[in-house]
Structure formats: structure tokens, C-alpha cells
Structure 1
């Protein structure tokens, strides 16, 4: 099977990476710092939600984004013929 346009493949790959990094940054910086005061009015397991996002939430989101990236890349690999 011939490979389709490698430049388009890497462009899509970089786009996925940038989008996922923006999501992670938004969750870690936004929820942990910018919206901390608003989120602290909600409690999870006895801890304020803003504190939880700053300490744990961004790591959980990062792990979820890894699985999302794997799924996206598997689809991209199949689309461009790199799934061998």
C-alpha cells in the first residue's frame, strides 16, 4: 500500500497535538489558577474543586488526552496508510 501525502499527515498530527495541548493548558491553568475562586465553592471528597484541579485534575485530564491522542493517531494512520 502506498503512503498518502506525508506532509498532510504531519500537518494533521501537529494540529492534533496543538489542540490537545491547548485543552490541557486550559484545564490546568484555567481551572487551577484563573477560575480557582469560583471552583472552590464546590467540594469533592472534602477538598475544594479548584485545589483538586490544581493538584489532581490536570493530571487526570492529561492521561485522558493521551488516550484521545492514541485514538486520533490510529485513525490518522489508517487514513494515510501508516497503520501497518
Structure 2
């Protein structure tokens, strides 16, 4: 059971790192570091860098919350620790 428990937490931490990495790229890199490069592209009349800084990172965060919940449900079922 200990090995199975370690595998469960490895899968959980890998998912967390994946989600946080995506959020970091969208919110920090796209919204701050690469804003000037992205501002050369327009999305719905707004500069893309501005959009990522103001809206894109929020939308991405909401999508990641639902993705994390769905993925954790799959991981819980895989390791048989889901709610019954």
C-alpha cells in the first residue's frame, strides 16, 4: 500500500506542477515579460498582451481549476481513493 500511496502523490504533484506551469506562462510570461511582443497582435480590437494581462490569465485560471478537478477525479479512481 505504501508504494501505491507514493504513486498517487507523485501523480498529484505532477498534475499540480503542470497546472502551475501553464498558469505561470500565461500570467507572468504572456502578461508581463512578452507583453510587447504580443501587443503586435490584436484580439477583438485589443492588443493580445493587454488581453492576457487583463483577462487571459483569469480565464486560464478558471479553466485550470476545472481541469484539475476532473483530472484529480481520474487519478482518485485510478488509485481507488475516490468517494463512493
TM-score by length of 1: 0.87
Return structure 1 stretches of 4+ with deviation > 2 angstroms. Answer: none
Q: In structure 1, what is the equivalent of residue 19 of structure 2?
A: 20
Q: Are 1:70 and 2:73 matched, yes or no?
A: no
Q: In structure 2, what is the equivalent of residue 5 of structure 1?
A: 4
Gaps of 5+ in 1: none
Q: Whose relative contact order is higher, 1 or 2, with alpha carbons under 8 Å and at least 6 apart?
A: 1
- How many residues align structurally? 82
Taking the aligned partners of 1:44 and 1:15, their CA distance within structure 2 comes to 32
Deviations 1:15-65 (A, max 9, x none): 110111011001111111122112111222322110110111001001111
Q: In structure 1, what is the equivalent of residue 45 of structure 2?
A: 46
Taking the aligned partners of 1:48 and 1:5, their CA distance within structure 2 comes to 48
TM-score by length of 2: 0.87
Gaps of 5+ in 2: none
Taking the aligned partners of 1:41 and 1:71, their CA distance within structure 2 comes to 35
